[in-house]
Structure 1
Amino acid sequence: MKAINLYSVFFLLLLIFSSGLLFSCGGTEQKEATESNETDSVAVEAEQVVETTNPSEEYQTFVSALDTTQMSSSKQAAEKFQELYASATPKQADEGFLIFDKLYNSLAYNLDEQHYKKSSESGEYDKYDQIAGIYNGYNDGKDASSEMMSYHNELANHGFGIGMVEGSTYILQNRDFLKGYFYDKVSEPMKEYLIQKNKEAKEIFASDGGLIISPTRLAERVIWAENFIKENPDFYPKLMKELKWSKKSYLTYLLEGMDNTPLFDYQTKEITQDFAEAYQTVTSSYSDTETAAIIKPYYEAIKNNNTDKQKELIEKYQDEDKIYKNEY
């Protein structure tokens, strides 16, 4: 057996000692590092909690304190939304929009009451005609006075405008206002809903007992609502209720026409070309929809001059709560 080199033994002992020392020091450093990491982790988690805390309670408090008779409240609420929901989730942003929407509706109602009173007291009904319909695209405002255009711009800057129905002007919601404040924050279903409601608000569907849009456009609204409801069954109850109401109203007019836009020509008693085209579009282009299933047998009964079947189907759809009774 070879003799063990004393230097080697010494080196081995030194290595073992050094390792123990390093282990001891390393353990202390590791413990400190772990504690430091844990502290940092807690700080990060706390920061994340702050970032994702739902701001809706604070927003509700802010909005509740605003004056629902002043148009400036809408812009204050919209700007506060952007501030509070900057890091919010889409679902949280949806909640915030619902809070805003309640204020927005109250403002529109109160501002219209003020508009009616002001117009009545001053007797200046006609001056608002100059800017009525700009939001809807029915008026380019070229003939409006500087005073009226200034008023229009002020309204638009706060989410409102002037509309007209049967010769009378009123305050309406200019929903273009919502684009810059809410579209990039809310969920995709909410954004789709807002885009559609803005489109429908601009394109007034009826006035003075008659359709303004074509029956085909009316049918497309029914189809859109049907598909949206089917794809988003858990959409917000308040808005879902409104969607179902409008879908039911549109379908009622699509099946029965209106006084000044009759389903059947008053002279020939035949279905008008516009309604026939709408029915053909639904049954061919949207054949897999519930709307098509409703329209198809009804249209067949019309083409066959089967008035008893037509009446039977209308009563059936009313009993099934698909359309309204005596809607107009």
Structure 2
Amino acid sequence: MKLVLTILLFLSVNFLSHGQFIHTEEFIKKIEAYPKDKLESLKKIAKLFTDSLEKSNSSDVDRAFVELLKVQTEIQDNYNKVLWESEDYESLESIMYANEKLHTQKAKEFEKYAEENGFIIQVTEGTINIEKSPTFLIETFIEFLSSSMKSYLKQYCDELKAPFMEDGGIIIDFTTFRERVLFWDNFDKQNPDFPIPNYPKNQFEFYLYHLLSGADNTPAFDWNSKIILESYLKVYNEIIQENPNTRTAHILKDYTKMLKLNSYKKNDELMNFINKYDPYKY
């Protein structure tokens, strides 16, 4: 009897010390109240998620995580606007220098502030930006998520670590490029009810489109001859041969047949085929 009372007392104290668990709907309402222009809001929301969210239903936990990501993106966007207009911006730009000895004290403090609150500093096209920290996302949340959301988060963080494009050109290698197209192809097929509607399909079509067309400064067709580059054609054939049952392979089979009929030269017929997957058409 004493043992039972001791256990009940322990559970009661433990419950009270951690506070009452909240369900997903309440979590979503609570996070709306946090300021969306302060980085520290994310750390507070993350603590609410890890310490107080009721986690018995994995689909509800995933839904809460999706809402958290939306708020993180809003904080990121709002803070970047403040950052670019800041009178300290020029001082903070010293973060761009590879030599850390050239970083100003304000830049060092800013970088520390970002990292402590779940963000990193990213330099793109000569501009510093706040970006989500892949390390923070993985270390803080992945243990609570469903298997499909874990898979999504790992891929999402890999893509944060290795941006796809910069200065109008593709900057990842073809192996990674191929892996991304196939990942989103399979993920979209396997997760029709994913809690971020259309995201897997949009990611698949984004990468597929660029696999077919290239980008402004890294086009799939030669600038002068308009002939498809061998590096792109090689990837098409590899996917067709090694991943024949994927949607990507079926699309590429049709596309390579069309390329052959048109002597591998860019024309309106080929562009009409490519533009079916244009992510910028809407």
Moved more, 251-260 or 273-282: 273-282
Aligned to 1:3: none
Output one character per residue of 1:121-169: Cα deviation in whole Å (capped at 9) or x when no partner.
7544632314xxxxxxxx6967645543342232122121222222122
**CA distance change for structure 1 residues 314 and 295 in 2, over 3 Å: closer, same or farther?**
farther
2: CA distance, partners of 1:290 / 1:309: 23
2:240/2:253 contact within 8 Å kept: yes
**CA distance change for structure 1 residues 73 and 140 in 2, over 3 Å: closer, same or farther?**
farther
Work out whether 1:76 is the aligned partner of 2:44.
Answer: yes
1:323 aligned residue (267, 277, 281): 277
Q: Which amino acid aligns with 2:28?
A: Q
2: CA distance, partners of 1:110 / 1:235: 27
CA drift at 1:102:
2.1
Aligned to 1:225: 184
CA drift at 1:219:
2.8
Work out whether 1:291 is the aligned partner of 2:245.
Answer: no
Structure 1, unpaired ranges of 5+: 1-46, 131-138
1: CA distance, partners of 2:159 / 2:139: 19
Moved more, 305-314 or 89-98: 305-314
The alignment covers a number of residue pairs equal to 263
2:227/2:265 contact within 8 Å kept: no
Aligned to 1:244: 201
Work out whether 1:97 is the aligned partner of 2:97.
Answer: no
Aligned to 1:134: none
1:54/1:92 contact within 8 Å kept: no
1:74/1:104 contact within 8 Å kept: yes
2: CA distance, partners of 1:191 / 1:204: 20
2: CA distance, partners of 1:195 / 1:166: 26
**CA distance change for structure 1 residues 298 and 117 in 2, over 3 Å: closer, same or farther?**
same
CA drift at 1:187:
0.8
Moved more, 295-304 or 159-168: 295-304
Work out whether 1:263 is the aligned partner of 2:220.
Answer: yes
1:306 aligned residue (239, 263, 281): 263
2: CA distance, partners of 1:208 / 1:87: 42
SS at match of 1:240: coil
SS at match of 1:235: coil
Q: Which amino acid aligns with 1:228?
A: F
2: CA distance, partners of 1:85 / 1:281: 45
Aligned 1:87-126 pairs, distance under 5 A: 87-118=55-86, 123-124=90-91, 126=93
Q: What is the alpha-carbon root mean square deviation over aligned residues? A: 2.9
TM-score, normalization by structure 1: 0.71
Moved more, 185-194 or 153-162: 153-162
Aligned to 2:129: 170
Aligned to 1:5: none
Work out whether 1:272 is the aligned partner of 2:229.
Answer: yes
TM-score, normalization by structure 2: 0.81
Aligned to 1:61: 29
**CA distance change for structure 1 residues 182 and 125 in 2, over 3 Å: closer, same or farther?**
closer
Aligned to 1:190: 149
1:127 aligned residue (94, 109, 118): 94
Moved more, 308-317 or 188-197: 308-317
CA drift at 1:112:
0.6
CA drift at 1:196:
0.5
**CA distance change for structure 1 residues 231 and 290 in 2, over 3 Å: closer, same or farther?**
same
2:240/2:252 contact within 8 Å kept: yes
CA drift at 1:109:
0.7
